[in-house]
Amino acid sequence: MINKAIVIGRLTADPELRTTQQGKAVANLRVATNEFIGKDEEGNRREHTEYHRLVLFGKLAEVAHGYLKKGRLIYAEGRIQTRSWDDAAGAKHLSTEIVVETMQMLGGKEQNSAAA
């Protein structure tokens, strides 16, 4: 069986970094991807935007937190995972995310120096 996701998109916010009780770094990213869906009656380009939650662990999380900023274009590859939990009021919540195994920062030198 294969569980693989590949996303190329832009960060919608700066990475959020936290540490587990065991001291392992965890970064949460939100990425937007756009898909061309045709043209409207006036000939204007139409796009559909999809939003993705990404989770990075360890050194990859630290690198993402140190170098990525809102608007940065990235390539991420990983597996899809769904988590569920109950809140204090007893309501059940579901979250589907991509657990990133490989990430590359995309863009030219100008974008790299701005992010650093």
Contact 31, 74 (CB under 8 A): yes
Domain extents in the chain:
5-38+45-115
Burial class (CB in 10 A: 0-12, 13-18, 19+), 61: buried
Q: What is the pLDDT of residues 68-106, one digit of tens each?
A: 999 999 999 999 999 998 988 989 999 999 999 999 999
Specify the residue for token string 């979250």. Answer: 95
Q: What is the mean pLDDT of residues 108-112?
A: 54
- % residues pLDDT > 70 (the chain): 92
CATH architecture of the domain with residue range 5-38+45-115: Beta Barrel (2.40)
Using DSSP bridges, classify how beta strands 16-19 and 92-105 pair: parallel, antiparallel or unpaired: unpaired
